[in-house]
Structure 1
Amino acid sequence: MSLQAHLNELQAKHKALEAELAEAMNHPASTDAEIAELKRKKLRIKDEITRLQQPHAA
């Protein structure tokens, strides 16, 4: 998989988690632990995207 394809996949996952997080935050049955886990997953993906986009990351 090329770097750009990997970045595109990560960005799609990040966007999906963002939507899932928004839905969970608006759903009264969601627990704080579930919301925190979604936030952690989203942050890990964002960190990986940032790391891969840095010029010296290759």
Structure 2
Amino acid sequence: MTIEARIRELGNRHRQLDETIQREVWRPAADELQVRELKRKKLRLKEEITSLEARVS
């Protein structure tokens, strides 16, 4: 897999996590622990994307 393809894949996963977080936050009884873990995963994806982008440029 090329670096660009990996960046796209991670970007898609990042967006999906964002949507999942938004749905969870808007639930009446949002699970804060789950939201926190999802946000951590999203941040790790963003960091990996940024690292890969730096390698491409």
- Do they superpose with TM above 0.5? yes
Number of positions where the alignment pairs a residue of Structure 1 with one of Structure 2:
56
User: Matched residues in 2 for 1:53 and 1:22: separation?
Assistant: 26
User: Matched residues in 2 for 1:30 and 1:13: separation?
Assistant: 21
- The offset of 1:31, in angstroms, is 1.1
1:22 is matched by which residue type in structure 2?
Answer: Q
RMSD, aligned α-carbons: 1.1
Higher relative contact order (Cα pairs below 8 Å, separated by 6+ residues): 2
Unaligned runs of 5+ residues in structure 2 are: none
Unaligned runs of 5+ residues in structure 1 are: none
Give runs of aligned pairs for residues 1-58 of structure 1, distance below 5 A.
1-54=1-54, 57=55
Identical-pair percentage? 38
TM-score (normalizing by structure 1): 0.89
